Structure 1
């Protein structure tokens, strides 16, 4: 499965590069190529996922522009970075921000108490205004915890891409090692 995912990602590269032949993008091509923004190889993909994981915690409309800038700075894959930002959505943002609050409370001195949802939404109904008020009530621990959580998630995403990318090679090496100890002269066939 991982090999087929890797082949699929590598197959995306020519299609993306085909879209780069637009006349208005021709002047940017040397810069884009130098930055590896559309390379579907291990390092650019890992950097793109890390950028997307970090920038996914940025509020709404700034996630993708932030990811584009981070990918350009880190020389990461823009497609992987942009797709990764979708781990934050209306269902996951509240638990992620609560986790960021607790991480910030761990880092900050003194005792930090998370405000209850009922203090910002007395009737308990979810609304964008209630969510904004709750986020504002989270205060400094949230401001400290968001970059902390973003860095943690970015590091986990970076490592996960490397592990997933190298897993088929490790499996092949193990099969070859077992075959050599059993007396084989040729490597075992791929599944």
Structure 2
């Protein structure tokens, strides 16, 4: 069994366990709405939407990523778990390169020459690093404000397409095999009716 098939099988077995955990008294009242909106559905379309939403919301600053993912998943019927996990692509190791890329996109789209201020990692603990990152982000200005939504939309569209391809690849292969089997059977080989 291939890794992709194992992953899809694991997702199919995960959905009933997640839905069963919603039977407690606090979430039980929301269960009909949650079921109707596919926010815990592990089928192809809600998963693709969830990953795309997570990629889109991953570039939102700080703790608003998960709240944004939850709200948009409820609105667009995407898988909440996939969205929350997908937001993890932005972390202290990836945020500077992502913001650099967003700045470059914004500088390309905006008129005039845009100069990127250098990022200097401050000495000290995590709090000093967060303050330094915030100051650098505010110094990036309009190119960052223009580039972030464009980058987020590009990442979301690519993620949506990749999840669709991941789930549809076995279907396409099966259809091709069936098509080649049909072509091999010629009319003179078939028995008369």
Give the SS at the match of 1:110. Answer: coil
SS, match of residue 47 in structure 2? helix
Range 16-25 or range 27-36, more displaced: 27-36
What is aligned with 2:9? 7
Supply the distance in 1 between the matched residues of 2:177 and 2:97 (Cα, whole angstroms).
42
Cα distance in 1 for partners of 2:122, 2:117 equals 11
The CA distance in 2 between the partners of 1:115 and 1:94, in whole Å, is 12
RMSD: 1.9
**Aligned partner (choices 67, 74, 77) of residue 76 of structure 2:** 74
Matched, 1:93 2:83: no
Tell me how far 1:176 sits from its aligned partner: 3.0
Q: Does 1:61 align with 2:63?
A: yes
Structure 1 residue 62: deviation in Å? 1.1
2:179 is matched with which residue? 177
Q: Secondary structure at the match of 1:114?
A: coil
1:109 is matched with which residue?
111
Q: Helix, strand or coil for the counterpart of 1:60?
A: coil
Matches of 1:117 and 1:50, distance apart in 2: 29
In structure 1, runs of 5+ residues without a counterpart are 185-191
TM-score, length-normalised on structure 2? 0.87
1:177 CA displacement: 3.2
Which residue of the partner structure matches residue 143 of structure 2? Answer: 141
Offset of residue 26 of structure 1: 1.5
Which segments of 5 or more consecutive residues in structure 2 lack a partner in the other structure?
Answer: 187-193
Q: CA deviation at 1:121?
A: 5.3
Deviation at 1:107, TM superposition (A): 1.6
Task: Give the greater-gyration-radius structure (CA).
Answer: 2
Displacement of 1:128 after TM fit?
Answer: 2.0
| Aligned residues of 1:2 and 1:168 also touching (Cα < 8 A) | no
In 2, distance between residues paired with 1:51 and 1:38?
14
Q: TM-score, length-normalised on structure 1?
A: 0.88
Matched length? 180
Which residue number in structure 2 is paired with residue 43 of structure 1? 45
- Could you report, residue by residue, the CA deviation over 1:71-123 in whole angstroms, capped at 9, with x for unpaired residues? 011110001101111111111110000101111112212111111224x859x
Contact 1:37 1:78 in 2 (8 A): yes
Give the aligned partner of residue 166 of structure 2.
Answer: 164
String of CA shifts for 1:9-41, please: whole Å, max 9, x gaps. 111100001100011111111211121100011
Task: Give the SS at the match of 1:71.
Answer: helix
